[in-house]
Structure 1
Amino acid sequence: MTTPTQKLSDAGVSIWLDDLSRQRLASGGLQALIEEKNVVGVTTNPTIFAAALAAHDAYEEQVQELAAAGTDVDEAVLTITTDDVRAACDLFAPIAEATQGVDGRVSIEVDPRLAQDAEATAAMAARLSATIDRPNALIKIPATEAGLPSITATIAEGISVNVTLIFSLERYRAVVNAYLLGLEQALENGKDLSGIHSVASFFVSRVDTEIDKRLEAIGTDEAAALKGRAGLANARLAYQVFEESLDTERWRRLAAAGANPQRPLWASTGVKDPSLPDTLYVTGLVAPHTVNTMPEKTLEAAYDHAEVTGDTITGTYAQSNAVLDEIAGVGISYDEVVAQLETEGLTKFEDSWAELLQTVRTALDNAR
């Protein structure tokens, strides 16, 4: 019997696991997910690394070596995290080779404290890429306004990028432009465009969490009927932007030079509201050339009981616009929500980074 995750893969959805640890690599657990549940990539973040360090003794020997060498906490974080990402890149190398670099990708995040400094972000992206030294690594750069030039600069250097923290359609269009501009500069620099890849991580569940909270505060039947609908509508309209970006002379010129499309990636796909189906952001966002990064709980739910019926995005654009219009009609400002989510998202990134630094600092202190 064809599994739901196989059906997702057949429909053009790449399943990437939103988790990584040395234990998962060493135990063969990640390899099993590749073989059994169609996982073809991995994303990481500071919270994931902090949890892995706190939960497993797989890092103990390396931490002791770093402590004995007098390594400071920032360098220790760089060493530990890039070692894990490099090992994961090696594990996924056969998939990367088989898909010409489209999948088999492992993402690592630039220090979010640099998010408002484009030059420093681009420099850190280059350092991460050089340190990992694997063609299937993706460097995560937040899609802040200040981050847009660093996306362009990083792509122009031939480094593949996962653009993260996208909530609004307007910002997504700016991200697409930043990618295309980077490809144009890469072409001028004599880079091989076929080796440059990118995904644009569009966050889903957090949109519903914030808008549903506001709908509940309004308290009318009309507002209640809109619960759990904004996240899908917003993401589906992002896919429309993706399709439109490929139907331009600008893109066709780049494609003729070997460029790869920047695929939409559905992030934040774990359902936060228990009253909603636990596979909502999986089954509702099926379309070709997309990535769905799933926490393990969501992956397990999808594998177990997701009802995959084919493309659930194409042809929904009028309906999705209507949902956002109705939300505006009950008094909720889309622009205000997405701006708040970006601000909160960046704060969460910074808090997660601080948590990771503290976890490593504690481990180093205990080892000294």
Structure 2
Amino acid sequence: MTSSPTAALSEAGVSIWLDDLSRERIASGDLARLIAERDVVGVTTNPTIFAGALAKGERYDDQVHELAAAGADVDTAVFEITTDDVRDAADVFRPVYDRSSGFDGRVSIEVAPGLARDTAGTIAEAKALWAKVDRPNAMIKIPATVEGLDAITEAIGSGISVNVTLIFSLDRYRQVIEAYLAGLEQAKAAGLDLSTIHSVASFFVSRVDTEIDKRLVAIGTDEALALKSKAGVANARLAYELFEQEFGGERASALLAAGANRQRPLWASTGVKDPALPDTLYVTELVAPGVVNTMPEKTLEATFDHGVITGDTVTGAYTQAAEVLDALAGVGVDYDDVTLVLENEGVDKFIVSWNELLDTVRGALEAAR
């Protein structure tokens, strides 16, 4: 007997990661509580999350004063503050990491979003973040832009565990898997222990529905409106089909036999944006073995309170999912344009949040001085 929907979700093979982090959450014991009471086994962060935490977090005051006294500039201060939070969170999750043999207990930190189109800059920052956090259960988030693909390969090849973020299209996801496998081959050639290298591929869900639903409403036909809020789940289900195909292939199988890990699909952007939809939609409809669902706390609590977990809701639905994408094309929705717009918007939004974070820290440093 499972005691809660989140426990049932875990038993169905879904790793629950929290999409939020702050020093208050760590220091107050709330993060440890979520591990114990909500089956949370990992954390993801992004520039928006850190900007929010820094803007209202009194627990950062002492460190800000120390950095100001040391003459730190704003970039150095942000680097120190965020890596400290991730290191401390990684220590909270270390027991989860140990008992899952490195599978879970992961804490992700993202390279500066302004580097999303800069391969060399992303590689350098990924290595700097990995060295600074200095915890085996950290993951470095690298965006799945064209420029990010070679950076993913280089990071994996160097033994860095990577959370690939901002994936919207199936074609780009295929390229991300290719980049991961190429990195593993480099790591193997360098004599690294492949079993220590982990990766997830963060496939965004609700943002796909938001963008496509806007286009469907503009089209306005009954046929178009009948497709509202179906694209995100369909797209993610087809991503899981691709995951199964690619990691069942000869190339991946050879690496797995050498001790490598599969790059797990991660469902991101799982908070429901449309209030007319069930608030657990992107959890209950995307249950499959070996995936991660990273949830904002509101979605986590909704799932714990009233989520209905019925087992695998993905692997038997590939044909239906493909039909949804075909129908969208039939009414005039350009999938390639949608996913390109979403990738560019995703990068731009994180840059805005990053700049807000820099402004917050700059103001705090000036006040401290």
CA displacement at 1:218 relative to structure 2: 1.1
Corresponding residue number in structure 2 for 1:194 = 195
Corresponding residue number in structure 1 for 2:185 = 184
- Match of 1:355, as an amino acid? E
Distance in 1 (CA, whole Å) between partners of 2:340 and 2:116 is 15
CA displacement at 1:174 relative to structure 2: 0.1
Distance in 2 (CA, whole Å) between partners of 1:227 and 1:115 is 31
Aligned pairs, number: 368
Matched, 1:13 2:14: yes
Q: Identify the range of structure 1 (154-163 vs 342-351) with the bigger mean alpha-carbon deviation.
A: 342-351
Percent of aligned pairs with the same amino acid? 68
Distance in 1 (CA, whole Å) between partners of 2:55 and 2:248 is 47
Distance in 2 (CA, whole Å) between partners of 1:72 and 1:340 is 34
Distance in 1 (CA, whole Å) between partners of 2:117 and 2:228 is 33
Q: How far does the alpha carbon of each residue in 1:19-46 deviate from its partner, in whole angstroms, 9 at most, with x for none?
A: 0011001111111100000000000011
Q: How far does the alpha carbon of each residue in 1:32-73 deviate from its partner, in whole angstroms, 9 at most, with x for none?
A: 100000000000011111111111210000000101111000
Q: Identify the range of structure 1 (194-203 vs 112-121) with the bigger mean alpha-carbon deviation.
A: 112-121
- Match of 1:220, as an amino acid? T
Flag structure 2 segments of 5+ consecutive residues without an equivalent.
Answer: none
Distance in 2 (CA, whole Å) between partners of 1:61 and 1:246 is 47
Corresponding residue number in structure 2 for 1:290 = 291
The residue matched to 2:71 in structure 1 has which SS?
Answer: coil
- Match of 2:55, as an amino acid? A
Corresponding residue number in structure 2 for 1:261 = 262
Corresponding residue number in structure 1 for 2:33 = 32
Q: How far does the alpha carbon of each residue in 1:142-172 deviate from its partner, in whole angstroms, 9 at most, with x for none?
A: 0000100000000000000000000000000
Corresponding residue number in structure 2 for 1:119 = 120
Name the TM-score, length of structure 1 as normaliser.
Answer: 0.99
Corresponding residue number in structure 1 for 2:348 = 347
- Match of 2:336, as an amino acid? D
- Match of 1:182, as an amino acid? G
Q: How far does the alpha carbon of each residue in 1:63-87 deviate from its partner, in whole angstroms, 9 at most, with x for none?
A: 0010111100000000000000000
CA displacement at 1:344 relative to structure 2: 0.6
Question: RMSD in angstroms over aligned alpha carbons?
Answer: 0.6
CA displacement at 1:9 relative to structure 2: 0.1
Could you list the runs of 4 or more consecutive aligned residues of structure 1 that deviate by over 3 angstroms after TM superposition? none
1:204-243 equivalences under 5 Å are: 204-243=205-244
CA displacement at 1:231 relative to structure 2: 0.1
Name the TM-score, length of structure 2 as normaliser.
Answer: 0.99
The residue matched to 1:146 in structure 2 has which SS?
Answer: helix
- Match of 2:180, as an amino acid? Y
CA displacement at 1:337 relative to structure 2: 0.4
1:240-251 equivalences under 5 Å are: 240-251=241-252
Corresponding residue number in structure 2 for 1:135 = 136
Corresponding residue number in structure 1 for 2:335 = 334
Corresponding residue number in structure 2 for 1:279 = 280
Corresponding residue number in structure 1 for 2:95 = 94
CA displacement at 1:349 relative to structure 2: 1.3
Distance in 2 (CA, whole Å) between partners of 1:249 and 1:170 is 20
CA displacement at 1:246 relative to structure 2: 1.5
- Match of 1:149, as an amino acid? D
